[in-house]
């Protein structure tokens, strides 16, 4: 029983000493926050390729402006006082087609050829204002327009791109079926269906809509000036062959067109690869954890050593000797 108690006391003392020793070992400090690297993916933008060829087509309505008409008399009629007091012409429709090249994302060029349908022309000229004697004219003007154009795109927002442009070229104008009918006279005449080239220029403003990367719908306005045309009338009934010049031909055109860009690439274009950015987290201050010292363990005092009481000595009886009788 005594030995078991001694073993338990020794084990408890060893455990207490180990806990105290472990509490006295210095603990490692927490590491400071380390920088983190955030890798941003490359910026992918769907942009139109530079240097792309395209085809275009347009249909529109031309609202014609007022023109000038001039009488060019032959020598026999040079002294006749003749003036035009009325002239007009109708609106027309037209068709354009062309091929172009996109120099970059904001500048493009194209060459267009267009046909303007026959436009009726009416005019009246008088020799004598008092009597109203003169001639009435009726004919048809048709034109072929050839222009080299340049456009500047002003930026794209939600697939919409406004633009402005300018064009320069030439027009082939023809006066067809011109008829001269005398007013109050028996004179008459017919034109020669003459045609001639004239310089032409145009101013553009419009809006593009990107249906797809390669297909664009375009709504635009164009001011077109396409020169003049002169025709000669051969008279019948005793009159001379005079010429008539129709000049300052111009129109306000409203067009609906499409463009087909030849596909160059189908995937997105990597415009700029963003470098990795080192992000340093903000320092976080925390209260250090308290260090608790273990409570002292009181070891019970060992039992006192046993006291051995020796048995009392046992004395052997001494032999009895007789008393001496000697005195």
The whole-number pLDDT of residue 311 equals: 72
Q: Which of 177-191, 228-242, 284-298 has the lowest mean pLDDT?
A: 284-298
Confidence class for position 303, pLDDT limits 50, 70, 90:
confident
- In the predicted model, what is the mean pLDDT of residues 55-67? 95
Measuring CA to CA, which residue among 115, 90, 108, 138 is closest to residue 226?
A: 115
Query: Does residue 11 lie in a domain region?
Result: no
Query: Does residue 291 lie in a domain region?
Result: no
How many residues in the chain?
327
The whole-number pLDDT of residue 23 equals: 46
Query: Does residue 195 lie in a domain region?
Result: yes
What six digits make up the tokens of 300? 């019970």
Query: Does residue 256 lie in a domain region?
Result: yes
Query: Does residue 283 lie in a domain region?
Result: no
Count of the separate structural domains present in the chain: 1
197-219 pLDDT, tens digit each = 999 999 999 999 999 999 999 99
Which residues in 19-106 belong to E strands, given as ranges?
Answer: 36-38, 43-45, 52-64, 68-72, 83-89, 92-102
The DSSP call for residue 157 is: B
DSSP letters spanning 116-136: EEEEEEEEEEEEETTTTEEEE
Q: Rank 86-90, 162-166, 180-184, 289-293 by mean pLDDT and report only the highest.
A: 162-166
DSSP letters spanning 154-181: ---BTTEEEEEEEEEEEEEEEEEEEEEE
Percent of the chain with pLDDT over 90: 47
Identify the CATH number of the domain in which residue 92 sits: 2.40.160.20
Query: Does residue 305 lie in a domain region?
Result: no
Across 109-121, b (16+ Cβ under 10 Å) vs e yields ebbbebebebbeb
**Domain hosting residue 198, numbered range:** 54-263
Query: Does residue 43 lie in a domain region?
Result: no
- Tell me how far apart the alpha carbons of residues 100 and 150 are, in angstroms, rounded to a whole number: 9
The whole-number pLDDT of residue 139 equals: 95
Q: What does the mean pLDDT of the chain come to?
A: 80
The whole-number pLDDT of residue 260 equals: 96
């Amino acid at each position: 029983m005594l030995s078991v108690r001694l073993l338990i006391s020794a084990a408890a003392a060893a455990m207490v000493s180990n806990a105290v020793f472990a509490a006295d070992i210095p603990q490692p400090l927490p590491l400071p926050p380390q920088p983190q690297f955030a890798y941003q993916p490359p910026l992918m933008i769907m942009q139109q390729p530079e240097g792309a060829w395209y085809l275009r087509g347009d249909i529109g309505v031309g609202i014609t402006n007022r023109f000038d008409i001039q009488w060019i008399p032959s020598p026999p009629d040079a002294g006749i006082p003749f003036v035009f007091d009325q002239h007009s012409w109708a609106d027309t429709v037209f068709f354009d087609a062309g091929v172009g090249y996109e120099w970059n994302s904001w500048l493009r060029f194209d060459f267009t050829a267009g046909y303007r349908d026959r436009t009726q022309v009416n005019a009246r000229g008088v020799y004598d204002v008092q009597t109203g004697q003169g001639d009435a004219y009726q004919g048809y003007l048709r034109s072929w327009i050839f222009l080299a154009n340049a456009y500047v795109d002003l930026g794209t927002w939600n697939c919409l791109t406004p633009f402005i442009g300018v064009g320069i070229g030439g027009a082939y104008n023809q006066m067809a079926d011109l008829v001269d009918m005398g007013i109050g006279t028996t004179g008459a005449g017919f034109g020669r269906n003459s045609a001639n080239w004239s310089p032409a220029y145009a101013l553009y403003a419009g809006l593009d809509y990107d249906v797809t990367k390669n297909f664009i719908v375009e709504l635009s306005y164009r001011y077109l000036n396409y020169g003049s045309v002169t025709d000669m009338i051969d008279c019948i009934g005793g009159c001379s062959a005079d010429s008539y010049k129709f000049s300052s031909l111009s129109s306000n055109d409203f067009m609906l067109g499409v463009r087909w860009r030849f596909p160059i690439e189908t995937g997105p274009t990597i415009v700029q690869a963003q470098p990795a950015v080192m992000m340093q987290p903000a320092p976080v201050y925390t209260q250090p954890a308290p260090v608790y010292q273990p409570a002292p363990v009181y070891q019970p005092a060992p039992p006192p050593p046993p006291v051995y009481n020796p048995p009392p000595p046992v004395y052997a009886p001494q032999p009895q000797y007789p008393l001496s009788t000697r005195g």
